[in-house]
Structure 1
């Protein structure tokens, strides 16, 4: 078979072009660390890679939601701690007032101090962080307000929120359930009848204030009187008793009111425990997702990534071959007079 000059140059150009394409592909792999730049190069790997990236994106969303919820719970815990401090101070003042040797003037001073603590409690209950009230549930307005001398929660008088009839119980429970929820990967589902989100499939990261402030009244503490169960009004009632003159002041009444106050104050400490449990669960989910994220990153590298050392060696070898081919071209592609024409 006769090998013509045209055949040699054509074959040389084809081989040189193949070397150039291969060199460009290896250069891209070295630069990007990926096996392929287009889906058409490896459809199967590209599909698996897309699924992995989609899962990584979901994990990133869950982790962002966990960080938000954890920050909210941290603020809630510190705020409840402030409330506990105020209640502890009130306890000291009440015990001081219960001392039988206290004069009418001293009791009046203690009453003033208790009303100051009342204001502190109200301010704490209405704590707002980045536009959200910590203890207001889904309400975007101040959850607690004093109207007519009585504490209200989300527009409802707490004394009126009694748990007697089924309708009254449901009203109170609805307020206690009205919280803030976030998706952390528990598998969000919806009620087929109402279309509402199933609250067991999302994470509840807030504590409505009604859960630990108290609601309704108690008629067994002081004969003939319905005493508020909520801590704010209860403090005010104790202060009122301390303000009474010696003739009408009743130490036994204060003692009974103080017993109710101590019992209801326990709800704040229980709230701290509940917040701690929620935070601990978020830590568990964080560790779980970090492990999943690591495994998915590793799998993504296996599917889409290249062996860096092998690819670099291949790139250098291809570059040497390409350079050698260029040098060989000087003898294959002979010069002619046309190379010198401009």
Structure 2
């Protein structure tokens, strides 16, 4: 078979295009640090990488949800500690009433207690972002308010009127809210107690509700109001008895802080698990997508050498033209 000049030129051009394409592809890989830049270059690996990217996005979203829930619990815990500090201050002031000799002194202490009651309302109506911390499963309005007679309400229901035998007095918007932390699940809701962590804190559970067998309110706010009222009428003995009940009911605070602390630990472990999983996913993503720089650098140098050699061969393969003589 006779090899013509045209055949040699055609073959040379093909090699020239292939070598410049290889060099350009290698340059792009080094610049982008990616093993491939188009799905068509490696469809199987790209498919796996897309799946890993989706898992990474979902895991990052879940971590943010857990961090937000942790922040909510930490803020709730801080507010409950503030409440406890207010109660200690109230107990200290009210105890002094036992030694007060004048009604003016009792009235002054009662007014101080009333001011502390207002602070308790503000504390229990605190927000975290756009959410009320102690509203239970409701969130449209501040959970605690007062009716026309000064009785404490929780989500519109009178706190002291609670009766376990009367469903009409139940706090219907006091359901627990859970964050689902089961493996592979990323939703939050109110019906996932088996696989979730409770992230809501009920203010009425913290303050107490209903009345005990002796007719004393179980609610800390109401007990303080009762002490204040007794001091204003000069009933120091009655005030001291009510104050003793207040001290007993204060154990609700310790229970609440302990329970929140347990939930915070659970969220911390969940976050650690998710972050460990995220690191592993990111490593897998890198293995699938990232170019091995050392190997590609060698490939790039080889492609560059092939390209330069091809250019040099061109002068001996492509015949001179009239333009070469005109130079």
Q: So what's the TM-score if we normalise by structure 1? A: 0.86
| Structure 1 match to 2:216 | 227
Partner SS for 2:146: strand
Query: Distance between the aligned counterparts of 1:153 and 1:216, measured in 2?
Result: 12
CA apart distance, 1:62 = 0.4
CA apart distance, 1:250 = 4.6
Give the aligned length.
323
Kindly provide the CA deviation profile for residues 112-170 of structure 1, in whole angstroms up to 9, marking residues without a partner as x: 111111111111111123222111123220110011210000000001222235x469x
| Structure 1 match to 2:96 | 96
CA apart distance, 1:15 = 1.0
1:63·1:184 contact (CA, 8 Å) conserved in 2?
Answer: no
Consecutive unaligned residues in structure 1, runs of 5 or more: 221-225
1:189·1:198 contact (CA, 8 Å) conserved in 2?
Answer: no
CA apart distance, 1:74 = 2.1
Query: Distance between the aligned counterparts of 2:176 and 2:283, measured in 1?
Result: 41
1:183·1:202 contact (CA, 8 Å) conserved in 2?
Answer: yes
| Structure 2 match to 1:153 | 154
1:244–1:313 CA distance, 2 compared to 1 (3 A):
same
| Structure 1 match to 2:18 | 18
Partner SS for 2:280: helix
* 2:287 maps to 1:328: no
2:180·2:186 contact (CA, 8 Å) conserved in 1?
Answer: no
| Structure 2 match to 1:284 | 269
1:218–1:4 CA distance, 2 compared to 1 (3 A):
same
Query: Distance between the aligned counterparts of 2:106 and 2:206, measured in 1?
Result: 28
Query: Distance between the aligned counterparts of 1:22 and 1:144, measured in 2?
Result: 71
In angstroms, what is the RMSD of aligned CA positions?
A: 2.4
2:197·2:263 contact (CA, 8 Å) conserved in 1?
Answer: no
2:175·2:190 contact (CA, 8 Å) conserved in 1?
Answer: no
1:188·1:202 contact (CA, 8 Å) conserved in 2?
Answer: no
1:187·1:201 contact (CA, 8 Å) conserved in 2?
Answer: no
Query: Distance between the aligned counterparts of 1:153 and 1:200, measured in 2?
Result: 28
* 2:224 maps to 1:241: no
Q: So what's the TM-score if we normalise by structure 2? A: 0.90
CA apart distance, 1:175 = 4.0
Query: Distance between the aligned counterparts of 1:88 and 1:205, measured in 2?
Result: 27
Partner SS for 1:152: strand
1:124–1:300 CA distance, 2 compared to 1 (3 A):
same
CA apart distance, 1:331 = 1.8
CA apart distance, 1:340 = 8.2
Query: Distance between the aligned counterparts of 1:146 and 1:282, measured in 2?
Result: 35
| Structure 2 match to 1:218 | 212
Kindly provide the CA deviation profile for residues 23-62 of structure 1, in whole angstroms up to 9, marking residues without a partner as x: 1221221122222222222222122112211111110110
* 2:212 maps to 1:204: no
**Counterpart among 170, 174, 177 of residue 175 in structure 2:** 177
Query: Distance between the aligned counterparts of 1:288 and 1:123, measured in 2?
Result: 36
| Structure 2 match to 1:223 | none
Query: Distance between the aligned counterparts of 1:128 and 1:295, measured in 2?
Result: 36
Query: Distance between the aligned counterparts of 2:317 and 2:186, measured in 1?
Result: 71
